[in-house]
Structure 1
Amino acid sequence: MGITKNYLGRAISGILMVSLGGYATGAHAQEQSRALDNVSIWLGGYYANSDTNIGAHSKDGIARGNLNLEDDLDFQKRKVAPRARLDFVFGEHQGFTFDYYNIDRDHSRTTSSSVNYLGHQYDASARLEGNLRFNFGSAAYRWWFGSGDDVFGVGLGAAYYKIRGGVTGSATLNGVTTASTHTGADADAWAPNLQLGWRHAFNDQWRMYINASGVRKNGGNLNGHIYDAALGVEWFPWKNVGFGAEYAYTKIRLNEEKRAYDLDLDMKFNGPSAYVRFRF
């Protein structure tokens, strides 16, 4: 991963220098649509309503279990997930786009009961702990079609995603642990990424957009699909600094194949996002 990070860092630095250089020297042969920026930076958060299921089943299909983090472990249904984007445009109709977000959640729940058996009182309790770490990053080359105040974009690239999490359960009787179990996942993968977009500029200060992207991978230890769609608006009270707001829907469905059993992750997010926007 060190080589990959260094390569991406050099690539991003090179792209930024070329973009700023072209912008400063006025290298554009035609007038660029005001729905696009030479360099665009998005920093914000995704305040999403979540529904998360973690399932496991043995290879023979006999043993099977499913746990909903929000309903069974009282995870917060709403939590802010940080998100960042960078867009670069070269010339008039081509560019790069980068996207990254992180989901980090953990919680525990304890239940207790008292049982009377043959005149003796027994205190029993059970504890469940769950944690989930999900990282997603993508990079794509984009082509923009159209001119004036409306442009349509198609992007092709790659996405990297990593999942790390698990569920631990234990049961005690009169303070003595009688049973415990743990199921966990720790895997990452690369997959092809397809992006679609539309942008419209009402004027120099107000714009709106629609973004959609999809990742799908078959085979390998970690496979599945990730879909994302968003409708948003941008407002720039200043020339280079503004704000963005969007409503997004994200669906993540992944499967990790282990030696004795398979793990399934099914997450759905929907809700508003807010960004501070910088454009150059």
Structure 2
Amino acid sequence: MRHPAKRPSWSLLPVLVTLALVSTAALAQDSTPALDRASVRLGGYYAGVDTDVRIADPSDTLGGTINLEDDLGFDKNKAVPRVRADFLFGEHQGLALDYYNIDRASHQVLARDITYDGVTYSANADVRAKLDFNFGSVAWRWWFGQGNDAYGIGLGAGWYRVKTALAGDGAYDLGQGGEQVVSVATTSNDSAWAPMLQLGWRHMFNDQLRMYLDASGVRKNGGRISGHIYNAALGVEWLPWRNLGFGVEYGYSQIKLHWNRSAYDADLDMTLSGPSAFAKLRW
């Protein structure tokens, strides 16, 4: 059943504007050495992944939940490349960029019946599946604080894209107990932009050792693909040289997206958690 598109909710806008004004008022303080003028972090995120796809249809002819790891044989751990960049303009404002992608595929003989995109795949069917998730963000940050600590708030936008593919031998329900067995391949490719809020903390123990905490949230209502994405990371950086350092962090991401389809609705529920290691170039 196709639901009418909802208008994006701007109920948080006054709160975000107030936070931005409060942080701007703090810019009169001296800048903190915990921030770099410019930096780029390149590394890998070894994520534990758990993914559910739910199909919902009021007529009850379609429905159920597919776990990509248990039902379709997707790897439960995935090394994910990631790149982040930060630029400071003046003493207290800057630009933050982030991008990562998760591309996974499997070739599996099913252990149970599943229904996807209007097609039933019976147990013992040979199925090939693929899911690609891309996320990127850009935000303007205001930094304030004193001494060895810096606190930041950022406002921006996040972009996400979900591509899926499933192929195998399936059966269409023809009604009255009849069905037609066919070789089926289904694909989807949806993307969207959504407003984003970021929070950050930086602490410098000394010239070579730092700690940081980052959190961000993206939420979109209405449209063909909607939902929210939350990210959080706690990390430590070791900076033995002026322009080169290394870091490790532990991150967690929750991705919950909803598709409005012509015949039914679908939900993607994916969580990522695990350690990262990266090299940091700074100026």
Query: What range is the shorter-chain TM-score in?
Result: 0.7 to 0.9
Letter in 2 for 1:189: A
Corresponding residue for residue 223 of structure 1? 226
Corresponding residue SS for 1:266: strand
Q: Does 1:200 align with 2:203?
A: yes
The answer to whether the 8 A contact 1:30-1:92 is kept is no
Residue in 1 aligned with 2:129? 130
- The higher radius of gyration belongs to 1
How is 1:45-56 mapped onto 2 (pairs within 5 angstroms)?
A: 45-56=44-55
Structure 1 residues 55, 181: closer, same or farther in 2, change over 3 A? farther
Three-state SS of the structure 1 residue aligned to 2:70 is helix
Deviations 1:36-60 (A, max 9, x none): 0010101011100000112222354
Q: Structure 1: which amino acid aligns with 2:127?
A: L
Taking a change above 3 Å as real, the CA distance of residues 191 and 111 of structure 1, as seen in their structure-2 partners, is closer
Aligned to 1:248: 251
Alignment length, in residue pairs?
Answer: 237
2:260 is matched with 257
Per-residue displacement from partner, 1:189-224 (whole Å, max 9, x unpaired)?
A: 000010001010001110000000000000010100
Hey, what's the Cα distance between the residues in 1 that align with 2:64 and 2:187? Answer: 13
What's the CA shift for 1:169? 3.4
**How far did 1:125 drift?**
4.3
Alignment TM-score, normalising by the size of structure 2:
0.79
Aligned letter for 2:41?
Answer: W
Higher relative contact order (CA 8 A, sep 6+): 2
Q: Distance in 1 between matches of 2:200 and 2:218?
A: 15
Distance 2:103 2:170 in 1: 26
SS of 2:78's equivalent in the other structure is strand
SS at match of 2:84: strand
- Structure 1 vs Structure 2: percent identity of aligned residues? 54
Cα contact 1:38–1:279 (8 A) shared by 2 = yes
In structure 2, how many angstroms separate the alpha carbons of the residues matched to 1:61 and 1:211?
42
| Unaligned runs of at least 5 residues, structure 1 | 1-28, 113-123
Query: 2:42–2:278: 8 Å Cα contact kept in structure 1?
Result: yes
Q: CA deviation at 1:166?
A: 2.9
Query: 251-260 vs 56-65, which deviates more?
Result: 56-65
Q: Which amino acid counterpart does residue 245 of structure 1 have in structure 2?
A: V
Residue 65 of structure 2 corresponds to residue 66 of structure 1:
yes
